[in-house]
Chains A and B, each alone.
Chain A
Amino acid sequence: MTFKKLLGTSLITASMAVSSLSQAAPAEYEIDMAHTNVLFNVNHLGLSNMLGRFDELQGSLVFDKENIENSKVEITIATASVNTFHEKRDEHLSSPDFFNAAEFPEMTFSSTAISRTGDNTATLTGDLTLMGVTKSVNLDLTINKVGEHPFNKKQVAGFTATGAIKRSDFGMKYGVPMIGDDIALRLELEAGLK
């Protein structure tokens, strides 16, 4: 094999590798706030499960559809935007009894690891910071769909993540156990390729 041929083969191999890498490279997505929700529910006196959401959040998503392990998500939530569809209760939830929104206006989630568990499932591990306390939490992640948006034809992705925390772990202890300690979390997220 001549030096010229050897060089040519090497260049082709290298360019294929680069091409493959660029296809699998993590890409920045813009979170579609109109279709993104952070939801929770908590038991009330053993009688019912109260549902709630946060109206104000922002975040960023870096998504690698080929190697989901390379993806990263960060979300910042305004604690004062807690909404349980009852104004007086929301005032109480914002008070020092619960989210203490005046003292801790934000809660954040920052992913630290993602490990694939199935074709379209993964475990999303991240640091949740609430009321000044940071704890690692695991969420079960489902990649609902990755592909072209049916109307605007942009590349989009949709996810559902569910999990649970104990609010007392974050220092939110008032009313336990009458108002449940276990909080079920659900994140519904849509994002479009930037």
Chain B
Amino acid sequence: MDLSLSNPIVQSSILPLCLSLLIAAALGFSSAKGARIAALGVAISALVTVIIIQGFSFPPKATSQKLPYLIAAAGVIGLIFDLLKLKGIAWRLAGIILPVATIGWLFGNRLGSTQIDGLIYLSAAVLVSLFAYWQFEKSRHQLDSGIQILLYCAGLGAILMIGSSAMLSQSTFGLMAAVGGFLLLNWPKFRFPVGAAMVFPLVTALAALTAQSLFFTKASGIAIAILIPVFLISYLLPKIPLLNKVSSPAMRAICLTAVGVVPLGTSILVAIMLTETSASGY
């Protein structure tokens, strides 16, 4: 297997997973303060991955070229939150301001000409962000939100692949692998909190990628709508017989993933059925 950085599999899986795991471990095991900001490893990994996949453009012109800037900016804001231990109202405000500012920067110049479907797309992207922030704020010391983000990335990556954008698909899979590296470090034993340094850049990137996929690719909006409930699986788990009896965090992670596979699989199936792409092989 070609292990060079030009190999798409290395770019979107091995590299982000290893980078995230190594940086988070190096930070986390260094000191108590390091443990608090270990999740920064995910942001750094995501940033490096996106730049390797998409390249870096200054000044950015295309929406996709703004993604590295968004990850970097949201990562710095998240790091400040972690270092200052900001929570509560500050977190909730950031959870609203960041996605709205992101969508505003990416699509502000299109708002005047946006039709109703575009407004629905933008609302969907903001909704994804709000769901994600909501989850993270409530479960900083659980893997739930990380698993949900991972499943959302897996679904969006597959939908984008079907929708003819390998670059955005690869970037999304790269985010998934970066989260995966951090989750591996925290499973089966939970070690480091899911900090704002990971949450802010990830959720910002997902809002941007969701909006881009809806506006600029053939990705199925219905498939993405079906995928969004992966952010609700932690609420569903206590209502499912047998699974609601699971108490160990390690088993809970497995059960959550199993439940999340349902909307994930459904969304991918729907994308395959609804996406209008050529039948020819490529």
Contact = CB atoms under 8 A, between A and B. Distances in A.
Interface in B211-234: 212, 215-218
A131 B168 CA distance: 17
A178 B6 contact: yes
Contact of B217 (A87, A90, A95, A168): A95
Interface stretch (A96-104, A117-125, A149-157): A96-104
Interface of A: 86-92, 94-97, 100, 102-104, 131-133, 168, 171, 173-178
Interface in B123-146: none
Interface stretch (B55-63, B92-100, B174-182): B55-63
B168 A97 contact: yes
Contacts of B53: 174
B166 interface: yes
A97 B63 contact: no
B187 to A, nearest CB: 33
Contacts of A175: 167
A125 B165 CA distance: 33
Contact of B282 (A89, A94, A103, A174): A89
Given A171-B62, A171-B65, A174-B167, A88 B278 contact: yes
Contacts of A177: 6
A95 B166 CA distance: 9
Interface residues of B, number: 27
B92 to A, nearest CB: 32
Contacts of A176: 55
Given A102-B215, A103-B216, A177-B6, A96 B165 contact: yes
A interface SS class: loop
B281 A96 contact: no
B interface SS class: loop
A176 to B, nearest CB: 7
B166 A92 contact: yes
B31 interface: no
Contacts of B217: 95-96, 102
19 contacts: A86-B280, A88-B164, A88-B278, A91-B278, A92-B164, A92-B166, A92-B282, A95-B164, A95-B218, A96-B168, A97-B165, A97-B167, A100-B62, A132-B62, A173-B54, A174-B53, A174-B54, A174-B167, A176-B55
Among A91, A96, A133, A171, max chain B CB count under 10 A is at A96
A86 B281 CA distance: 9
Contact of A100 (B216, B281, B282): B216
A86 B164 CA distance: 14
B266 interface: no
Interface string B188-228: 00000000000000000000000010011110000000000
A174 B56 CA distance: 10
Interface string B271-282: 000000110111
Contacts of A100: 62, 64, 216
Interface string B33-63: 0000000000000000000011101001111
Among B65, B164, B166, B281, max chain A CB count under 10 A is at B164
A96 B167 contact: yes
